[in-house]
Structure 1
């Protein structure tokens, strides 16, 4: 984690000029990675019926009712949208930002929403036995689903590593957005130690 933070910091400071090109490649890898995971699990994975995916409900954690269990489960999904405003913090570096920035936010939500929903449906149809997933020794449930679908531990490791790489790339965007926000607050003298931060960022 510390190594990733260091790499992201270097890319945002001394190698900032290559950041836009790098972000384009990350976007391409994001879309290609989606298909690299989606196609094997659809082609190789087990098939569930539509009733078990869309109608049948599960409350395996002992919550009071299914509605409460669903709302608790949605917390992780909502977290995905927390970074949407990150592009706003970089608006000063974007040409025609009053048009480009809102478009970027809406396209990001639309594209990732469609990709995420498609992946969700694919995983639900190929998840297999939920009891086996809960009893699995895998660090995350999706790792067990990938192994169960591909019938190969090596393939599931490769596919899971793609998810980890994309998560690391998301850290790059988070550092980029956070550093610009730190700069803006320091420029407005709204942070403790703003003089030192402002001076340090100017030297970079």
Structure 2
């Protein structure tokens, strides 16, 4: 499909070609692959799986949950093929359902994208601090210093996204190869340099419960509450793949290339991530030290390797996370632009503007500013934890917001049945069973990730402390209540879903 044909298809969906359509199919795949980032989530939330299930939560949990996420990806690939617009899942929901569906989907997606940007950049700041601490061992742990790094990284990502959309495309491509080569180096170092490795039995059968819930690793509380909490590692790492849709208006041949880019980014990340995580587990020989550090993945490197290779791994991960955060800002800003273009965001005229480089500058600045604000609670943390609970809460907000946004158009597509008009990439008759699996999986994980992650975060517990509270249900609840109230009192009277800004469909 030529650029003119892409523009014609976009006009049929109701929009002018305002963004520069300079991205290749590989660049489209690259942005989701970079946002998923096995050099980010596998490192930053490793402790969550280690403390809630241990090796089995990783060696078995990762491939199991990856299969369910790939099914969600297949469902979304069919939708982006039919509707390749920057609004992505919001547009799909409004097209397949009613304005109210688009309203809720858009806001959930926007909240999820802001939260995933915040979580990735905060994780990057944490690993930058860990890397620098290797050079300055006298540094004391400091949440304020990490937050300062976080702010600087957000600013850098905003500037990169503002000043060159062509540079972003190039960096996305570089990011793919950095993730592939970087992961290969990490795995190689952990295979060949440690003096000893864990057994296959440890990696695939060992269970650990450092959560404080239940009685060790036996009984129903462990298998049905603690262990599923460990699955957050996989569910958080493999997310953000809707970016393929958000940059579809900038992608050549989007109806096919965005669909392929979406599911392939999940598939290759799942394989690569599992290999990396297994390398971690086989190198995790000092279990006591890892437990004492709260399950921090860096402890595996510093106990199994000498200073130089351990530092190299931390540096590889930090740069990978930097690429990931850069891609998150791109995706977030395109969604903000698209949703504002349809009048849904307060001050929409400001956020839907593009500059002379055809870049939504104001949307970039606004999203990064909100990402900074929602992470402010990370300046405080309960003692003896691997990371502020606020970080895990932001991670949970990202997962819940994004996956609930995915659920709505998938459900609406299921309801449409044979009336749905597919694009060139389609599920065919398999759409029913795959849609149902995706819907059930999203509902289940959304329930788990609003639950307390520590007994200290349970109201009424003798050791209760506010810094241990998972505020994800509060944040998501406030957002849902707010957008529901806004819809009821006002938006239902004026929000009609996507607004056409083109009168004629051009002839290619």
Name the counterpart of 1:96: 253
Structure 1 unaligned segments of length 5 or more: list them. Answer: none
Q: Is 1:164 matched with 2:318?
A: yes
Task: Give the C-alpha shift of residue 81 in structure 1.
Answer: 2.2
Q: Is 1:56 matched with 2:206?
A: yes
Change in CA separation of 1:140 and 1:153 when aligned onto 2, cut-off 3 Å: farther
Structure 2 unaligned segments of length 5 or more: list them. Answer: 1-149, 215-220, 360-508
Structure 1 residue aligned with 2:300, among 131, 145, 161?
145
Q: Which runs of 4+ in 1 moved over 6 A?
A: none
Name the counterpart of 2:184: 35
Q: Is 1:188 matched with 2:369?
A: no
Q: Distance in 2 between matches of 1:140 and 1:8?
A: 29
Judge conservation of contact 2:243–2:331 (CA < 8 Å) in 1.
yes
Q: Is 1:4 matched with 2:146?
A: no
Judge conservation of contact 1:58–1:66 (CA < 8 Å) in 2.
no
Deviates more, 1:119-128 or 1:153-162: 153-162
Task: Give the C-alpha shift of residue 62 in structure 1.
Answer: 3.2
Q: Distance in 2 between matches of 1:183 and 1:56?
A: 47
Judge conservation of contact 2:302–2:310 (CA < 8 Å) in 1.
yes
Task: Give the C-alpha shift of residue 77 in structure 1.
Answer: 2.0
Q: Distance in 2 between matches of 1:196 and 1:61?
A: 45
Name the counterpart of 1:76: 233
Task: Give the C-alpha shift of residue 104 in structure 1.
Answer: 0.7
Deviates more, 1:5-14 or 1:167-176: 5-14
Task: Give the C-alpha shift of residue 196 in structure 1.
Answer: 2.1
TM-score normalised over the length of structure 1: 0.90
Change in CA separation of 1:70 and 1:140 when aligned onto 2, cut-off 3 Å: closer
Q: Is 1:118 matched with 2:267?
A: no
Q: Distance in 2 between matches of 1:62 and 1:202?
A: 52
Q: Number of residue pairs matched?
A: 200
- Describe the superposition over 1:98-129 as per-residue Cα deviations: whole angstroms up to 9, x where unpaired: 11111111111111110111111111111013
State the superposition RMSD in angstroms.
1.8
SS at the partner of 1:83? coil
- The structure having more radius of gyration, on CA atoms, is 2
Judge conservation of contact 2:157–2:326 (CA < 8 Å) in 1.
yes
- Describe the superposition over 1:39-95 as per-residue Cα deviations: whole angstroms up to 9, x where unpaired: 011112221112122123222333223312211111132111221112211111111
Q: Distance in 2 between matches of 1:6 and 1:56?
A: 42
